[in-house]
Structures are given as C-alpha cells and as structure tokens.
Amino acid sequence: MIQIAPNTRILVAVEPIDFRKGIDGMVALCRQALNRNPFDSTLFVFVSRSAQSLRCLTYDGQGFWLCQKRLSEGRFRGWPRASGTGAIQLAPHQLYQLLWNGDPSRAQAAPLWRPVVPADAA
C-alpha cells in the first residue's frame, strides 16, 4: 500500500511523459531524465501529454507501485512548470492539492515542525 507520511519525499516531473510506458520505462525515466534512484522510496509523480492523467510510482522494498488517476473531464491545470532540474519536490499537502486538480503552489498548511516554547518562557 502507498503511504504518504509527512516525511515522504515527493518528486513531480515537470515535463509530460508518454503514458504507453510501463513500470520499467518509468523507472528508466527516474534514472535518466530525473537523475534519481527509483529504489529509495521516493514517490514520483508524472503527468500525461494530454494532462488528463497522472501517475505515481514508488518502491516499497519488495516491488514497485504504479497508480494512475484520469480525470473524467478537464485537465490538470496546476501542474508545476519547468525548474531546470526536471522535477520539483512537493510536500504531502501539496500533492493532495495536485491530486484534486488544484495548484500545489497555493496549498497552505502549518509547518511540519516548529519549536515548542514553554508558556512561562514567552
């Protein structure tokens, strides 16, 4: 099962890919186009050329998971733009925003960690 915990590393490929590729083709993309190790439990997210579908690829220690979401109508509008590296890193709350066809750059959430200050020290 794919788990998206607060410490999950999520990389979104900014360039669309050919969705005729299977798991092996997407693993090769992770290595060659993104210069990343697909076996390090990173969740990789890709969009189709038509921007109607996205795929998530991750390795769970035994094998690869490949999930796909295809919109019944419309296209993914908030897909991140090129950043020079081929991929950008997202926080889990930004991925959820993207999965619901929102703009991840506008997703807001509290920081994952913040120092706790005792009440008497303030």
**Which amino acid, residue 31?**
R
The span from the first CA to the last CA of the chain, in angstroms, equals: 43
Q: Which amino acid is at 94?
A: Q
pLDDT of the residue at 84: 67
- pTM over the 0.75 mark: yes
**Torsion over CA: 63, 54, 42, 95 (sign):** negative
pLDDT of 36 higher than 90: yes
Position 105 pLDDT exceeds 80: no
User: Which pLDDT belongs to residue 51?
Assistant: 92
Radius of gyration (C-alpha) of the chain in whole angstroms: 16
**Between residues 59 and 2, the one the model is more confident about:** 59
User: What pLDDT sits at residue 80?
Assistant: 79
Instruction: For the chain, give the longest Cα–Cα distance.
Output: 60
